[in-house]
Amino acid sequence: MKTVDFRPCECGIKRGFLDRRAAGKALGRAQAKRDRQAQRWEGAHPMQRENRVYQCDYGMWHLTKQSRRVYEERVALHAA
Ligand SMILES: [Zn+2]
């Protein structure tokens, strides 16, 4: 079995990556997985898609999901 490339961070987030590259790789894997699920759930909105990486105050990198609120604001913006 493959070793995990993330570990808990002091900020409280369970998945912390040591550098941006590792986080980016994990982000790509997460997105590929979501895309496969999205194809299966035809018409479903990708609410829980991890869409970017950021570095926290403790120096580790994390994936962040687009929040439902942000998504809805964006939809409202485009509908206007
Ligand atoms: Zn952190």
Task: Report the Cα 38 to chain-centroid distance in Å.
Answer: 15
Q: Confirm whether pTM is higher than 0.85.
A: no
Q: What is the 71 CA–ligand 1 centroid distance (Å)?
A: 24
Rounded CA-CA distance 60/12 in Å is 11
Which of these, 16, 5, 12, 4, lies nearest to 63 by C-alpha position? 16
| Ligand 1 mean position, distance from CA 3 (Å) | 20
Does residue 5 lie within any of the structural domains? no
* Centroid of ligand 1 to alpha carbon of 43 (angstroms): 34
Instruction: Tell me the C-alpha distance between 9 and 41, whole Å.
Output: 33
Domain with 58, as residue range(s), is: 20-79
Give dist(CA 13, CA 9) in Å, integer: 6
Show pLDDT as tens, one digit a residue, over the chain (80 residues).
566 689 999 999 999 999 999 999 999 988 888 778 777 765 555 555 667 899 999 999 999 876 566 656 667 777 76
Total domains in the fold of the chain: 1
**Which pLDDT score, from 0 to 100, does residue 75 have?**
72
Report how far ligand 1's centroid is from the alpha carbon of 23 (Å).
Answer: 12
* Residue 15 falls inside a structural domain: no
Q: How far is the CA of 12 from the centre of ligand 1 (A)?
A: 7
31 within domain boundaries: yes
Q: Is residue 12 part of a domain?
A: no
Is 2 inside any structural domain?
no
Q: Determine the pLDDT at residue 20.
A: 94
Enter the tokens of residue 49: 């898609």
